[in-house]
Chain A
Amino acid sequence: MRVQKGRLESTNPGQRYDNVRWKKDGKWLDKDGKEVPKKSEESHIPIEEFKFDKEVYK
């Protein structure tokens, strides 16, 4: 799991907000723990929308 600081000056919308990235078995996950492409906006979860769910890792 990784927390990334957003940069308002970024020209890439997915880099403008503070976000959380998490993965399991090498696969990136969205906020619901579903596998999504690594470079998708869904894999860059706005920090206020992220809730850690330990069930994902069971």
Chain B
Amino acid sequence: MTGRSEIFKNHFFEALQELSDRDYQERIWANKNNPEGLVASFTEAAILFWEDALVSSALEEGAIVYDRKVTQALQELWDAIEIVDEFRSEEEIINDPLMQKVRDKATEVLELIKVSDKSENTVTFIEEGTLKVLEP
């Protein structure tokens, strides 16, 4: 442990990608083109983002993830996720305008990270399991 807030980097980016990608959601969540038989869902992606990646803890601890804009967008993404009703079919979830807001916000987070100079970052990115420290 580093004494700073930590984020599991692989979970973080996997969740953001999955939450932003309608094509993936239709293929895998809704099982429309899923020859490998992968099991995934909106709920699992949300948990991966907020809990497994440790984003929740980092934000509660007041950490800055990359920079203040990204940090704000991460909170807004969670706010958007929280109001999506998860107890219905994947088709309904994917087609819900509220889910489009989630996709848009996840895409925005990824774009903000791309242009961030990371100078405000106070988070340590690590790999779950090995706890190896990774570049932001």
Interface residues of chain A, those whose CB is within 8 Å of chain B, are 2, 4, 7, 9-15, 25-27, 39-41, 43-44
Contacts and interface: CB of A to CB of B under 8 A. Distances in A.
Contacts, number: 52
Interface stretch (B36-44, B65-73, B75-83, B106-114): B36-44
Given A25-B129, A26-B128, A26-B129, A9 B88 contact: yes
B41 A12 contact: yes
Given A10-B89, A26-B128, A40-B38, 17 more contacts: A4-B44, A7-B89, A9-B89, A10-B90, A11-B31, A11-B32, A12-B28, A12-B29, A12-B31, A12-B39, A12-B40, A13-B31, A25-B129, A26-B8, A39-B40, A40-B37, A41-B39
- Counting contact residues on chain B (CB < 8 A from A), the size range is 20 to 34
10 contacts: A7-B87, A10-B89, A10-B90, A11-B32, A11-B89, A12-B31, A14-B39, A26-B127, A40-B38, A41-B39
